[in-house]
Structure 1
């Protein structure tokens, strides 16, 4: 309709609005009170009443306002899309509700504009009519061409990039300014939670060619705020220093300048408050409460003051312990698993430990889903707390199937022969844990997880799923260098601890230096028999010129071959027995010590038949990085009577691993004694069999020979 005048309430500032292009619709408004006339692009001016109404509607609904001029309905014979560059026209048609043949009116037009805006692809949408053709004019939102991040040190760039992905701010994606604003605000909040109160975050958007933009995220982390003082208010019955020691956050008073524990973190403060709560609840303060915790920052944003207000409450002790849900004959057994005693300070940790012990007791008997409930009954008059354990055993279950996954190279049989929880047997948590430890002691896997899944439709069956992540077990090492002791040295070693996925081990080593030339070959079959008897076969040849070692002047050449068997006698202990043959040739020069010359003159060549025997123990929970358990070896090495050189050596070695938070503490012991016997007793222990201490593995700071 030609010359259609817009709604008089929305009049152009010029006072007229007659156009020959026919009715036109536009959205969204610019600001709250002004929009542009869809044809002449002049600003439309609203009356005051309508302005107030629109402000209220915007504040309540946060929705777009659309200018829709009146139009007489018409039937669409064609649709044309204008303004698309990066997108395909088909994308617009997919989201446009109107199709050729539809009758269009004001309501349909408004809904169509709304649908196209909802895609997020466009920053402006206009619908125009040319005869019976509907023209869709769009202005595409720019895409993100590049993103740069500068100034961040506290937060890693990788972490920021992941956060940008979550905010859908990714190169190639449609740019939404609201997403960038939200990201900027969230990043600022993150720095505040880390104690970076003077940090500031700014963003900028630069236009590029091809309707793209470059985003810049600039961070000024400023100076870190430090904890000046931690006030614990309400601590009266416990030692204030002991309570403060439970917190990882520390104030700056007397604290090392090299430490970072006076750096504030919101997450760490929350964890410390829980640590204080646990401290009190484990010492009998059943009614303990944290009234409030607050953080204040100085005007220069450099010092933080933390205040925690607590109410300790009364000190309670354990009262009676009652066991419910067990047979009379089992009551004493279950009671013996309870770690609390009447009269001791109340402790929630002791209750949890007792629950776990009772649960393990029943789980080892096949009651995998035993439910051990604990409730307390407070006796305020006597300041005691009675504890009631209710045992619900549920059905006894057995293991239907054991599934193994993740072993791409290792054969199933290598894993299954270490399992102590068998298919078809009653479930036992201790056997499951033992199986896991045995697998980790192999040294073939990065990690081992065992999951228990109930079999659907049954109450007495479970499946075990063993999740394996293998480690690289083969290695080829080549080395070259120089040392004061050995001079120029070269070495190459091949080792495969999981030969062809069978769990067998093969190693070959060649070492050459000014002092030592050595070749050694070892082959170990850990399961020579189904009972777990292992066999190790070894061969070595060694030439030593001790004059190059700065120890003594002599020459030694030896060849040996041997075999050793390990016979398991328990889950962690084994008996070792082996034998070897060794051929030794000794030489001297004019600088050879007289103590050595006597033996060399008597036995320049010797044949030794050596027997070794001992007991070994290994209860570590991991081969490479144990955090608990121990290893031990008590052995004797002796040349059999009638050998050219008769001697014996007794050895005792052990290591113990103790968990210490996220680390483990290792203690080691090594003792040895040797001597000659028979015809060799006058020489004592042959000098080339002597013990040596020193080097990084024994006594640091001393030579290894």
Structure 2
């Protein structure tokens, strides 16, 4: 049907009629076009009239015809605001009548326990359903299916979702989601069919999914997930491939659920195939690097059982080695030659180094406070130099270790229009590096420790560190101020200046009673030798006064008598060497820390002594999340000249940071209080400590960067000046430990069992330390 202004003074056109007229155009009378004298819009309540006008293809004074009317209706429908559109013509006035879609006035949920309402509304908003938005039934159906999918992801296969739409006044609706979550469906059995070489228990151990166990309430590992099952199937495939089963195949997987939707059964059908060995390993292609060097990177040899993991690691190791020399886009392709009769496979690693690439430009973005030079001085890759992946990785590591940034991202995009250039883009996200901390710590030996600390680790964006501390405890009270410039010279020589006041009172410890009051200051320098090694040296002046009581040991009184008083002033020179290849300072998983340090007094004031300490800690990740730590320490101290060694510089041992299970500082030679008859620890001039610790993830918190458990064994003791290092006098302990980086500071909690305590030893089963100890 068409519009005729003369014969039909008021003709209604609906979208369906327009469609019919387009299909049967031959039987429809042609429109006699007319000039639009005015345009009137009717039926709008919320929509602005201007919105309708903007979608009309005709304006006042223009000619209206059938084609423009059809365009107008389609255009208005496409806005999504209207569910009906009519166009009328009366006395050359174009009348547009619309019926608006309903608006959503409110959204409610009932029965939802697993997902909070605000999160549900936020999710619906992303698919176009929100209060004040236009109501769309198709979107509502999609939302219903999405909510069901979310419950399915939690293993709640019996969950139902129903929607209720209630009309309200002024063309509005209320939407309510009635949810019955139901119970979580549990995996009751995982059955593997076709296994011959390994038991079902061995294969199930490769899976994340499992049947209900005592930790399932936390891990949720008994709840079926398609994504987890796919990951488990790949883990199963990798397990067989790494054991030599080159022809292993997963034939089919069936997942069935009981009618009540409470129990799930998984059946996996496999074909193991034969076990393959490596018959030959060859290198081919353009190796560039000496073949002997590359062969040292090959992890599979003739006669070995085939392992897909080792083959892949070999390809990566060769590619990484080439990338250190600038071949950033090298490709190492292992090609097998399989002999199915003898069940052997020969591998040829084809090396294609590609073009040598150099870094055109280094770009740093994201640093709003930190100066560019602070970041660039940590970068080991140079501009206009050959690309070196080991230097780029080390650069990211060094920037991260500054602890100025919450995130460091490094990318190497190719330069447009070139085949041998990349840019190094370093993107950082800055975090707060200054803090004023008012807090308290708690330790089993010092009790409550109150303190205030003002730190700025990136002072004015220069990378320099400024720290002022006031800490009070039952044993130690410290006031200190320090300033460190890590790049005092452009070559990375650091300089630090320290001022301090420290008071020590041992009356609450199980050692000889004395108190000291010290103040002093010093300067220190650190010199990097390479990426992992550095030396340091310093000079400090220390002025210490010692107060004794009637309960103080006679040895302490003898020292003061010989020294003609207990004012012990000294100038101390210190030096040390450090090798640190740890991947992390807080939760180390691999690397080595070695430290050799010593101090000696310059014989111009009251004290003449020296101390030497050596520490070697080794970390090795045995499995993901499982790290073995072996630590050994030894120390020696003595006096020189005609003066005695100062007792307040003795070594002490025992406590949460040395031999756990023994009271802090209680090991070693002991004395007798002549007044009370009680014995106490004297400390010593020699120390020996060994620790073996296996760090394991806490069940349910495997990937946590805040929690870690450990099983440990400790051995150690201190020895007096007249004693030698005696392995027979070492004290041993074992137990469990927990580390937690809490909001209040690091927490160490220890459950320890001394293994060979002797009469007079002070032992503790539970020891802890909470709060940063400065």
The residue that corresponds to 2:12 in the other structure is 24
Tell me the distance in 2 between the aligned counterparts of 1:552 and 1:436.
49
Q: Which of these residues, 387, 398, 404, is aligned with residue 347 of structure 2?
A: 387
CA deviations over 1:176-217 (Å, ceiling 9, x no partner):
111011110122133224321111122233444554333333
Identify the residue that residue 181 of structure 1 maps to in structure 2: 141
Where does residue 687 of structure 1 map in the other structure? 648
Matching residue of 2:599: 637
Task: Give, in whole Å, the separation in 2 of the partners of 1:195 and 1:408.
Answer: 45
Partner of 2:123: 163
Q: CA deviation at 1:300?
A: 1.6
Where does residue 536 of structure 2 map in the other structure?
Answer: 576
Is 2:443–2:768's contact at 8 Å kept on the other side of the alignment?
Answer: no
Distance in 2 (alpha carbons) for counterparts of 1:25 and 1:693: 95
Aligned equivalents of 2:618, 2:116: Cα separation in 1: 38
* Residue 281 (structure 1) aligns with: 241
Task: Give the alignment partner of residue 458 of structure 1, picking from 410, 414, 418.
Answer: 418
Residue aligned with 1:547, SS: coil
Deviates more, 1:515-524 or 1:634-643: 634-643
Give the conservation status (yes or no) of the 8 Å contact 1:144–1:173: yes
| 2:228 paired residue number | 268
Q: 1:675 to 1:702 in 2, by over 3 A?
A: farther
2:385 equivalent to 1:425: yes
**Aligned partners of 1:622, 1:484: CA distance in 2, in Å?**
27
Change (3 A) 1:189 1:596: same
Among candidates 539, 554, 566, match of residue 604 of structure 1: 566
Identify which range, 669-678 or 435-444, moves more after superposition.
Answer: 669-678
Deviation at 1:336, TM superposition (A): 3.3
Corresponding residue to 2:437 among 467, 477, 481: 477
2:460 maps to which residue? 500
2:401 match: 441
Q: Secondary structure at the match of 1:273?
A: helix
Do the aligned partners of residues 703 and 256 (structure 1) sit closer, same or farther apart at CA in structure 2, a change above 3 Å counting?
closer
RMSD, aligned α-carbons:
3.5
Secondary structure of the equivalent of 1:377? Answer: strand
**Residues 246 and 274 of structure 2 are in contact (CA less than 8 Å); yes or no, is this contact kept in structure 1?**
yes
CA distance in 2, matches of 1:157, 1:376: 56
Q: Is the 8 A contact 1:169 1:179 kept in 2?
A: yes
How many equivalent residue pairs?
Answer: 656
Q: In 2, Cα distance between the equivalents of 1:253 and 1:455?
A: 54
**Distance in 2 between the 1:151 and 1:341 partners?**
61
1:671 and 2:659 correspond: no
Shifted more, 324-333 versus 213-222: the winner is 324-333
Give the match's secondary structure for 1:333.
helix
Q: Which residue of 1 aligns with 2:203?
A: 243
Q: Is the 1:83–1:140 Cα contact (8 Å) retained in structure 2? A: yes
Residue in 2 that maps onto 1:544: 504
Deviating more after overlay: 320-329 vs 644-653: 320-329
Partner in structure 2 of residue 528 of structure 1: 488
Establish whether residue 97 from structure 1 lines up as the match of residue 60 from structure 2: no
1:591 aligns with 2:551: yes
SS of residue paired to 2:428: strand
Moved more, 152-161 or 142-151: 152-161
- Other-structure match for 1:46: none
Q: Is the 8 A contact 2:9 2:91 kept in 1?
A: no
CA distance in 2, matches of 1:329, 1:696: 47
Residue 50 of structure 1 is matched in structure 2 by none
Conservation of the 8 A alpha-carbon contact between 1:281 and 1:348: yes
Q: 1:71 to 1:166 in 2, by over 3 A?
A: farther
Alignment match, 2:613: 651
- 5+ residue gaps in structure 1? 5-18, 30-37, 39-53, 58-63
- Gap change, CA 1:549 and 1:255, over 3 Å in 2: closer
Offset of residue 278 of structure 1: 1.7
Task: Report SS of the residue matched to 2:458.
Answer: strand
Aligned to 2:525: 565
**Alignment pair present for 1:131 and 2:91:** yes
Cα gap change, 1:693 to 1:536, in 2 (>3 Å): farther
CA distance in 2, matches of 1:442, 1:580: 26
Give 3-state SS (helix, strand or coil) of 2:144's partner.
helix
Unaligned runs of 5+ residues in structure 2 are 661-749, 751-765
Deviation, 1:267, is 1.3
Q: 2: CA distance between counterparts of 1:452 and 1:498?
A: 27
- d(CA) in 1 for partners of 2:146, 2:354: 48
Relative to structure 2, which stretch is displaced further, 583-592 or 550-559? 550-559
Q: State the alpha-carbon separation in 1 of the partners of residues 351 and 116 from structure 2.
A: 49
